[in-house]
Structure 1
Amino acid sequence: MLKTIAMIPARYEASRFPGKLMQDLCGKPVIVRTYEAAVATGLFEEVYIVTDSDKIEKVIQEHGGKAIRSLKEHECGSDRIAEAVAPMDIDIVVNVQGDEPFTNAADMARVLEVYKGDDAHMIDLASIMTPMSRLEEINNPNNVKVIVDQNDFALYFSRAAIPYPRDMEAGVTYYKHKGIYAFRKQAIMDFAQLPMRPLEASEKIECIRYLEYGRSIKMVRSETPALGIDTVADLEEARKIFVSRA
């Protein structure tokens, strides 16, 4: 049986919405809501926040969670996780984005299931995509889009609307990339040693690095809408969802 843990990288500063992980989400900070959602899935031997922030470390510990402090400065969440898991005896590490408090057990179970499939030996990491239909979603650069081959291996990720809709009758489904990644430990350790290349630098999408170096990303389809908190408007929408579920 594969030993699996979850890591939630949590940087206090964010270019689009500084301090968003500490914003109140119906009585608890966003990062605490995300941590609790990951624990509640029951899929992981351990769940950790990995952070460079005193504030985030303190609030997680106050809510009974486990936090690991980053020893170095990091450009992205995968680098932060690689440092934290280096000494750990694990097989799979799931990177849960700190600004995705609606991450659910069904999605996480699906992304882990790929490591039991016939093509598991071909997979370096797995992630989730969900369909989009509204043009404002498709054209929003905060929504990372993904295109896949016939076996659902990722071909490319972009903040642009891909594919370009030259033929509106082609029947293309647009997919949004959800912020869950399940890495083999060796894949994420390799990632941290590979220098960033121009495509990743341009798009600011870290999983492009894997594609640029020829690694395989298996995408899993989900019908659950994705809601990451990138803006104040996203936070307000998240609050409405929490209230409706209470």
Structure 2
Amino acid sequence: MEVIGVIPARYSSTRFEGKVLADILGKPMLQHVWERAKQARLLDEVIIACDHEAVADAARKFGAKVVMTSKGHASGTDRLAEVVNPLDVKIVVNIQGDEPLIHPTMIDSVARALLDNSSIAMATVMKKIDDLKLINDPNVVKVVVDKNNFALYFSRAAIPYLAVNSDIKQPAYFKHIGLYGYTKDFLFIYKNLPASNLENIEKLEQLRVIEEGFKIKVIETKFDTIGVDTPEELERVKEFLKKEKI
């Protein structure tokens, strides 16, 4: 295998217990994520990594390959590494289990960036923000990139800041979408990096990569997502899916 997708799917959640099994139009949320991941053309395999039998049972019922992992992982990255460690694979795509609107082309774009350029070790996705109210929402992570689309910084604040005397009336703002691709080698480097100062300030794990001097390639997508952290966001996803299909 060259490229695999892994969906870390924890049952416990501070704000929404068991959310990966929440019903969305007759299917558990996790199934929506898995079905979309299976449509990605560049993934040789899709694995659901879970730590709870209820999640594993549900995933097996809809036909997914399941790997049970430790309950003690501090992050999805650690869970990912446990799954990938014994596998002969070059590239790993980390697909969030609470992103039921993830588009297959996002997954392929991340995988393609890593396949086409061996100097890229980590890649992710951004979407231009159309709703200006989201710019100051700390739950919407913003990203700024250099001219080659490598991340300069991720923040919960509005970046770039628009100065009062700026000649630019309305800069473009980009939302970070939490889909990541890594080479297998870099995944284990990343896993072992210590938590960084900026990471602890913003509570954004990917900042440790930048603070340690590594680069993250960022691919722009035209598709948006709604991450589900609350029952209210679940309802937004349901309304969206009633109107649109992939």
TM-score grouping bracket, smaller chain normalisation: over 0.9
**Could you say which residue in structure 1 is the equivalent of 2:232?**
233
Query: For the residues of structure 2 that align with 1:213 and 1:242, how far apart are their CA atoms?
Result: 40
Deviates more, 1:8-17 or 1:51-60: 8-17
Over the residues paired in the alignment, what is the CA RMSD in angstroms?
1.7
TM-score, normalised via structure 2 length: 0.92
**Could you say which residue in structure 2 is the equivalent of 1:8?**
7
**Could you say which residue in structure 2 is the equivalent of 1:139?**
136
1:52 Cα deviation after fit: 1.4
TM-score, normalised via structure 1 length: 0.92
1:182 Cα deviation after fit: 1.0
Contact 1:79 1:191 in 2 (8 A): no
Contact 2:156 2:202 in 1 (8 A): yes
Query: For the residues of structure 2 that align with 1:15 and 1:202, how far apart are their CA atoms?
Result: 20
1:245 Cα deviation after fit: 3.1
1:233 Cα deviation after fit: 2.1
**Could you say which residue in structure 1 is the equivalent of 2:211?**
212
Q: Does residue 161 in structure 1 map to residue 158 in structure 2? A: yes
Contact 1:94 1:182 in 2 (8 A): yes
* Number of aligned residue pairs: 243
1:1-246 counterparts in 2 under 5 A? 3-71=2-70, 73-117=72-116, 120-167=117-164, 169-170=167-168, 171-245=170-244
1:201 Cα deviation after fit: 2.2
Contact 2:129 2:173 in 1 (8 A): yes
SS of 1:122's equivalent? Answer: coil
Contact 1:122 1:216 in 2 (8 A): no
Query: For the residues of structure 2 that align with 1:68 and 1:40, how far apart are their CA atoms?
Result: 20
1:15 Cα deviation after fit: 2.5
For residues 14-72 of structure 1, the C-alpha deviation after alignment (integer angstroms, 9 at most, x for no partner) is 23333221211111111111111101223311101111122211110111111111135
For residues 48-105 of structure 1, the C-alpha deviation after alignment (integer angstroms, 9 at most, x for no partner) is 1111122211110111111111135112111110111011100000001111112122
Q: In percent, how many aligned pairs have the same letter? A: 38
Query: For the residues of structure 2 that align with 1:245 and 1:135, how far apart are their CA atoms?
Result: 23
